[in-house]
Structure 1
Amino acid sequence: MSAAVLSCRPTAAATAPLLPLVGADTRVPLVPSGTTRYVDLDAAASARALESVAARVQEALPLYASVHRGAGYLSQVSTALYENARATVGAFVGARPDDVVVITRHTTDAVNLLAGCVPAGAAVLVLDCEHHADLLPWQRRGPVTVLPTGATVVETLRAIGDELTRRPYALVAVTGASNVTGESLPLPEVVELAHAAGARVLVDGAQLVPHRRFSLAGSGADYVAFSGHKTYAPFGAGALVGRRDWLDAGPAYLAGGGAVASVTVSSTEWVPAPHRHEGGSPNVLGAVALAAACDALAALPAGALEAHERALRTRLVEGLSALPGVRVLRIWADSAEPTGVVSFTVAGHDPGLVAAVLSAEHGLGLRDGRFCAHPLLARLGVPGGALRASVGVGSTLADVDRLLTALASHLSVGPRAEYALVDDRWQPVDDPRPVADPLALARAAGCGPAAA
């Protein structure tokens, strides 16, 4: 790779993972032959589990039993594990003493839950830069105003303030960090504008909570939603944390056992939140995993997350900007320090084909497409999609350099294999890589059952 690609000064930060991840040394097959260590630059979609999270789940597995209503000793233990996990999750996001923590499946689940609890007929305000998880539930619920994002943070804040004076809103739903660019609006200012107009604020924390310290009490926000699978705990749990009154008054999200105080054939008495919205057997191990991830992230020294991602993002953006035809996407020219999510386009190159080549020939995992943010990609002038590299606590400068070297090679030499569209996805023709038996790959990587 040319010196221009690695133009940023060497730094001690991010030369090693901030926290160890399960499967970090997994090797994958290449086209046309050979293997390499897999470099996962798709943490914004799903992050690998922390080793400490996997260890906590293994510790909890022998203790797993029914919760809340079981008389057995292990049922009592599992109930304590679940409720302690709830408390840990709440503390991690700075919940106030009277806030409630509902364990959900993920951010999308949490936002849909809250959408059912916003008072009927009350209006919701969102921006057109939101992830679909913070757009579609409000579109379906209505009434909703989707406000165009301004060219700058200052313009966008002014537009929010102006809109809040035009009509009453119950809620402003805003991303904590864009899943396309890592950028964000200053939350305290959004909260101040909303509260002055009598509206509450929901923060879509999916891309914020795993990468920056966040506090409901400190920011003044009323709700935050986030996912375990983006917080290094991919065991099927997420959370909605925030004000109790709407959640106590809203209809039960999952009607079923555990959500009720009494039932007759003609009526039901629902319990308050959080159990009101957690009908059925809860995901105890998912909650335990999410709490373990919160513990691990909370234990990092102050500023460690920011310094780690700053080094990685700086290397990535400078390296990409040095390559011919590459455009790094930004929403606002005046936004503060983004998280480690970088989307980009390569002039004259199909993003799906580039992603396929980087995967098949270089062992790199990136994202391509519109990232569940179609209105934002259209606003940025790339309605056909882009490429996205996203880093996290397990990423290193060597991972970023692997991407920059591979992309430079592709742009100068081109693909080494022939590719074709298969079900709208680019794939190597006569791909020799086995995918039919994923457990065999896990065993070969030393992490399957036979390797234990």
Structure 2
Amino acid sequence: MSTTTLDHSVKALAAIEGSDTQAPLRDGSTTRYVNFDYAASAPALCSVVERISQLLQTYSSVHRGAGYASQVTTKAYETARGQVADFVGAGNEHCLIFTRNTTDSLNLLARCVPGKVVVLDLEHHSNLLPWNDVHVVRGANTLAATISRVETALKDTRAVLLAVTGASNVTGEILPIGELAEIAHRHGARIAVDGAQLVPHRRVDITATGIDYLAFSGHKTYAPFGSGVLVGLRDWLDAADPYLAGGGAVLNVTADDVKWAPAPARHEGGSPNVLGAAALAAACVEIESLGDAVVSHEATLTEQLRDGLSEIPGVHTLKIFADSTDAVGVVSFVVDGHQAAEVAAHLSAEYGIGVRDGRFCAHPLLDRLGHGSGAVRASLGLGSSSADVDLLLAALRAL
């Protein structure tokens, strides 16, 4: 789809389930639901739902059945693994494990890390809490100063892993992952990226960028069927104890001993979420087919939203770094004289607009930014339009 033919006022970039959902208003009427909560959970692509419906016709066991339906299901599962691996630029040295979500992926990786981990204080809790031996770096007011602090921490702690977000779930600001990967490798460490907010919105090539481990979620990538991904270098994954001990994770079991399978089977014990894996693969295929139109679409709407918010008296947007220049479509703000929950409830009850309010599972960052009581977050996606942004801005002006 050419970006030059996109009418941002009336068209979404891709077919989204629930785009005509009606929301009840305070006065008893209904209106079209306007979704500004993509950063929490994105709606399903219609192509994803179609893929699920197709696969349900032959759904069966995986890896353990000789019957036709089992063969079809096994092929669908492993084909999905290859499609998702290709989507993120994985090479032969990488292993892709299907999980439940980003939190699950990072908890799995935490069990495999043979040493200290360095993280930033701006991380989502899923990248703060799992690590057993962690050093938290307090971010500075600029990216440049923050990167310098990260390098000092890697040098002083002799950490084996730097774990960072690809894009903030609070402000959408994108970190320079390639530069951070080079710094980590220079100091003998690997880099893991929480890609939950980055992967659905920007092309991520782990081989080209130097990412050693990447985690992301299906429910943020237009495939809300309970899937997630951890993809990365095999050696740590093969050396660690199985994440889930059970059938499928073994090569042989006796009454006295067990021989575990190598990854990915080593960490995928039990019957896998075939539908979730296939759904995520279908979403990846469609997003890739859209190409640069995804970035163009969201950049246009994000600029419209940020510019509009800046013109409303009493509305203040949040920003982590004074020198950051790139962000995905996530914008958080506060409104003078109003609690975040009050603003969110007003937008829903009066206009049918869905936003997120609170601390976004990033409490240390909100505290550092001076908004420990919470903020309002508006996040954009493939189904967003210029008309949606205009409605949100009008609602805030009225408030």
TM-score range, shorter chain: over 0.9
Task: Tell me the alpha carbon deviations over residues 285-323 of structure 1, each in whole angstroms, 9 at most, x when there is no partner.
Answer: 11000000000011113x212111111111111111111
Secondary structure of 1:100 counterpart: strand
Give 1:320's match in structure 2, choosing from 303, 309, 319. Answer: 309
CA distance in 1, matches of 2:175, 2:231: 20
Q: Which amino acid aligns with 1:375?
A: P
Q: Which amino acid aligns with 1:325?
A: G
Report if aligned partners of 1:13, 1:311 keep a CA contact under 8 Å in 2: no
- When the two chains are superposed, the root-mean-square deviation of aligned CA atoms in Å is 1.1
Secondary structure of 1:286 counterpart: helix
**Could you say which residue in structure 1 is the equivalent of 2:321?**
332
Report if aligned partners of 1:14, 1:309 keep a CA contact under 8 Å in 2: no
CA distance in 1, matches of 2:229, 2:300: 30
Q: Which amino acid aligns with 2:8?
A: A
Tell me the matched-pair count: 394
Tell which deviates more after alignment, 273-282 or 257-266.
257-266
CA distance in 2, matches of 1:278, 1:402: 45
Unpaired segments ≥5 residues, structure 1:
1-10, 411-452
Q: Does 1:258 align with 2:252?
A: no
How far residue 25 of structure 1 moved from its aligned partner, in angstroms, is 0.8
CA distance in 2, matches of 1:354, 1:264: 60
Give 2:141's match in structure 1, choosing from 151, 166, 191. Answer: 151
Report if aligned partners of 1:13, 1:307 keep a CA contact under 8 Å in 2: no
Task: Tell me the alpha carbon deviations over residues 225-248 of structure 1, each in whole angstroms, 9 at most, x when there is no partner.
Answer: 000000000000010001000011
How far residue 14 of structure 1 moved from its aligned partner, in angstroms, is 2.9
Report if aligned partners of 1:247, 1:273 keep a CA contact under 8 Å in 2: yes
How far residue 58 of structure 1 moved from its aligned partner, in angstroms, is 0.8
Give 1:14's match in structure 2, choosing from 8, 29, 32. Answer: 8
**Could you say which residue in structure 2 is the equivalent of 1:399?**
388
Give 1:35's match in structure 2, choosing from 12, 16, 30. Answer: 30
Q: Does 1:93 align with 2:88?
A: yes
Q: Does 1:75 align with 2:65?
A: no
**Could you say which residue in structure 2 is the equivalent of 1:113?**
108
**Could you say which residue in structure 2 is the equivalent of 1:429?**
none
**Could you say which residue in structure 1 is the equivalent of 2:79?**
84
Q: Does 1:134 align with 2:127?
A: yes
**Could you say which residue in structure 1 is the equivalent of 2:53?**
58
How far residue 401 of structure 1 moved from its aligned partner, in angstroms, is 1.0
Tell which deviates more after alignment, 105-114 or 15-24.
15-24
CA distance in 1, matches of 2:192, 2:7: 33
Q: Matched residues, percent identical?
A: 57
Q: Does 1:175 align with 2:169?
A: no
How far residue 167 of structure 1 moved from its aligned partner, in angstroms, is 2.5
CA distance in 1, matches of 2:202, 2:335: 29
CA distance in 1, matches of 2:302, 2:146: 24
**Could you say which residue in structure 2 is the equivalent of 1:389?**
378
Report if aligned partners of 1:173, 1:201 keep a CA contact under 8 Å in 2: yes
The structure number with the bigger radius of gyration is 1
Give 1:286's match in structure 2, choosing from 276, 297, 312. Answer: 276
CA distance in 2, matches of 1:267, 1:324: 68
Report if aligned partners of 1:13, 1:308 keep a CA contact under 8 Å in 2: no
Q: Which amino acid aligns with 1:352?
A: A
CA distance in 2, matches of 1:406, 1:20: 26
How far residue 266 of structure 1 moved from its aligned partner, in angstroms, is 2.6
Q: Does 1:270 align with 2:260?
A: yes
Q: Does 1:305 align with 2:305?
A: no
CA distance in 1, matches of 2:388, 2:362: 26
CA distance in 1, matches of 2:220, 2:6: 26
Unpaired segments ≥5 residues, structure 2:
none
Note the 1:182-197 alignment, pairs <5 A: 182-197=172-187
TM-score normalised to the size of structure 1? 0.86
CA distance in 2, matches of 1:28, 1:267: 57
Q: Does 1:47 align with 2:45?
A: no
How far residue 166 of structure 1 moved from its aligned partner, in angstroms, is 1.2
CA distance in 1, matches of 2:100, 2:71: 23
Note the 1:211-226 alignment, pairs <5 A: 211-226=201-216
CA distance in 1, matches of 2:328, 2:303: 11
Give 2:151's match in structure 1, choosing from 161, 165, 185. Answer: 161
Tell which deviates more after alignment, 266-275 or 122-131.
266-275
How far residue 335 of structure 1 moved from its aligned partner, in angstroms, is 0.9
CA distance in 1, matches of 2:223, 2:164: 24
**Could you say which residue in structure 2 is the equivalent of 1:413?**
none
How far residue 13 of structure 1 moved from its aligned partner, in angstroms, is 5.8
Give 2:238's match in structure 1, choosing from 238, 242, 248. Answer: 248
